[in-house]
A and B are shown apart, each in its own frame.
Chain A
Amino acid sequence: MLAISALSVFGIIVLFLGFSNNKSALMLAAMLSLLATFGLALYEWQHPEITPAVAAGMMSFDNLSILFTAVLLVTGILLLPLSERFLVDPKAQPAEYYAILLFSMVGAIMMVTFDNLIMLFLGLEILSISLYVLTGSDKRNLLANEAALKYFLMGAFATGVLLYGVAMLYGAAGSFSLSDIALYVQDNHDNLSPMLYIGLFMMLVGMLFKLSVAPFHWWTADVYTGAPNFFTAYMSTIVKTAGFAALYKILSVSFVGVYDYWFLMLAICAVLTLCIGNLTATAQQSFKRMMAYSGVSHAGYMLIAVASFSDKTPEAIFFYSLAYSIATITAFAALMRVADTKGSADFAAFYGLAKTNPFLSFALTVSMLSLAGIPLTAGFMGKLFVFMSALEQGHVALVVAAVLMSAVGVYYYLRVVIAMYMREGNGVAVTLSPRFRVVLIATTVLTILLGVVPSLVAGAL
């Protein structure tokens, strides 16, 4: 609660700081805002009595919500220095970008702390509308325009579907509060209104749309490819973390009684997502588009964790989203530097990178290994937690499908490594600024550290 209130005020302050001509102060202010919010979230860990007193049952900052808030904020803090191009680009509007970024973070935090479907809707829309603006922020770029329109139309459509589901749930249960819906499901278990099933179905479809889960993923690749690199990195990490935390919260609090109904839907979507995401990613020539499909496939793994619904699930989603976010930040940091230097996001732009910039190639290799799930990286431990939570409930078929598909994943992630180490480049050197270097060191160290000693964060729950 403190985090949300403070971050909203910080966003307004950063917006008004745009009147000054000192652009690097803007990044500093945004960074300090995120750090202060992180501190406030940790403060609430120690003082759980703050939120219930003021939130009137609309949101709750329990320890799981605070952990997800921390993942979101850490992602934001690690990403922010990568936006340094906005500070020198005369066409960019850094004050607006940072302010919208902070506001969208408010929406994301609302999505992990809601206790009422009204709050879920508001959080989702604050996040989505901010992202529509950021996707289209490169106004003269036709690809970015197209991506913004597609994202906007698909996102607004998904919101409509989600709202229809929420309205139906209200018709069935007579309340938007998660605990009241849970009571209704529990008390009327033998004669549940058909409106509840329709409502749950439509609400899940709306959520899965936003999370780019197959068969609702078709907009993802276009939007991720067209958006400016920095904002693609931002949305592929923040939306996944916040969305899956929200999905898990709704299902685990309100709909435990109808598990059989939603398990089937999520399991089918998870297998479809894994197959489509991984197989399509192998056919891509553009690194950025490959990362978009890789994002789709990772949604499949997280969906398996949600669908398996064991007591290990929250830990699995938390660890997986952290590992995925950190590795994705590294990958996009490398993409931003390569694309800015060579003007292309294709695999060919990565040829010979190991000769001109060994450090960047090493960091990118670690992140690719982590995304592929090779042991001693955070991604491996993430997948392990997901599979363990599924096996605990006996969903062997799901795990077999996921393991097969992650073998496919190794193929296209290693293509990047081969391009960097085994192909001849044109000798144009890719340089790193100090900010990029610090972020890359931090993400690489975190990826390896979490892969070797996962108990550092996995035991926090």
Chain B
Amino acid sequence: MQIPEVMRTVPLEYYLFFSTALFVIGVLGVLTRRNALVIFMSVELMLNAVNLLLASFSSYRQDSVGQVFVFFIMAVAAAEVTVGLAIIVMIYRNTKSIDVQLLNRLKG
């Protein structure tokens, strides 16, 4: 069996609910956690929920464009990781902490 056929053995709604759940967990993580790295991981979780959703839509519609988009998202997410980790390392060097609650110098 081809991979899209295997994916179609699970109903589409299951994929929809599962990736929405993953996405919501990611959103909650971003909104509630204090550690910059954990927030960052939550953002990645959101992106992966989207990737799963695109892959399942793509196999159900037998249209490969959705999977191509997944590759674009992965490439862009990798670029984002490099920049994001660089920013976090820069902050750690200056403050010895990556707790976002301590970053409150900008106010008004």
Binding site for B on A (CB under 8 A): 118, 121-122, 125, 129, 132-133, 136, 139-140, 142-143, 145-150, 152-153, 156-157, 159-161, 163-164, 166-168, 170-171, 174-176, 221-222, 225-226, 284-286, 289
Quick one: given A145-B90, A153-B43, A157-B46, are A129 and B83 in contact (CB under 8 Å)? Answer: yes
Chain A residues in 8 Å Cβ range of B73: 121, 163
Chain B residues in 8 Å Cβ range of A157: 27, 30, 43, 46
5 closest A-B pairs by beta carbon, nearest first, are A160-B46, A222-B106, A163-B50, A167-B53, A146-B103
Q: Are A149 and B57 in contact (CB under 8 A)?
A: no
28 A-B pairs with C-beta separation under 8 A: A118-B68, A118-B72, A125-B79, A125-B80, A129-B79, A129-B83, A142-B94, A142-B95, A143-B106, A145-B91, A145-B103, A146-B103, A148-B87, A150-B103, A153-B30, A153-B40, A156-B80, A157-B27, A159-B80, A160-B26, A160-B43, A160-B50, A163-B73, A166-B50, A166-B69, A175-B63, A176-B65, A289-B108
Please measure, in the bound complex, the distance between the C-alpha atom of A260 and the C-alpha atom of B73, giving whole angstroms.
31
Chain B residues in 8 Å Cβ range of A132: 83-84, 87
Please measure, in the bound complex, the distance between the C-alpha atom of A146 and the C-alpha atom of B36, giving whole angstroms.
11
Please measure, in the bound complex, the distance between the C-alpha atom of A348 and the C-alpha atom of B72, giving whole angstroms.
48
Quick one: given A167-B57, A171-B57, are A149 and B103 in contact (CB under 8 Å)? Answer: yes
Please measure, in the bound complex, the distance between the C-alpha atom of A8 and the C-alpha atom of B48, giving whole angstroms.
29
- Nearest Cβ in chain A — how far from B46, in angstroms? 3
Chain B residues in 8 Å Cβ range of A118: 65, 68-69, 72
Q: Are B66 and A149 in contact (CB under 8 A)?
A: no
> B36-51 interface mask toward A, CB cutoff 8 Å, 1 = contact, 0 = none?
1001100100110110
Quick one: given A149-B88, A156-B43, are A142 and B61 in contact (CB under 8 Å)? Answer: no
Which of B40, B46, B88 contacts A164, CB < 8 Å?
B46
Please measure, in the bound complex, the distance between the C-alpha atom of A253 and the C-alpha atom of B47, giving whole angstroms.
26
Chain B residues in 8 Å Cβ range of A150: 103, 106
> B70-108 interface mask toward A, CB cutoff 8 Å, 1 = contact, 0 = none?
001100100110011011101100110000100101101
Please measure, in the bound complex, the distance between the C-alpha atom of A170 and the C-alpha atom of B61, giving whole angstroms.
10
Please measure, in the bound complex, the distance between the C-alpha atom of A145 and the C-alpha atom of B106, giving whole angstroms.
11
Q: Are A170 and B54 in contact (CB under 8 A)?
A: yes
Please, which residue of chain B has its CB at the minimum distance from the CB of A198?
Answer: B20
> B10-43 interface mask toward A, CB cutoff 8 Å, 1 = contact, 0 = none?
0000001000000100110010000010011001
Please measure, in the bound complex, the distance between the C-alpha atom of A286 and the C-alpha atom of B54, giving whole angstroms.
45
Chain B residues in 8 Å Cβ range of A149: 36, 87-88, 91, 100, 103
Please measure, in the bound complex, the distance between the C-alpha atom of A125 and the C-alpha atom of B72, giving whole angstroms.
11
Which of A148, A171, A285 contacts B53, CB < 8 Å?
A171
Chain A residues in 8 Å Cβ range of B90: 136, 139, 145, 148
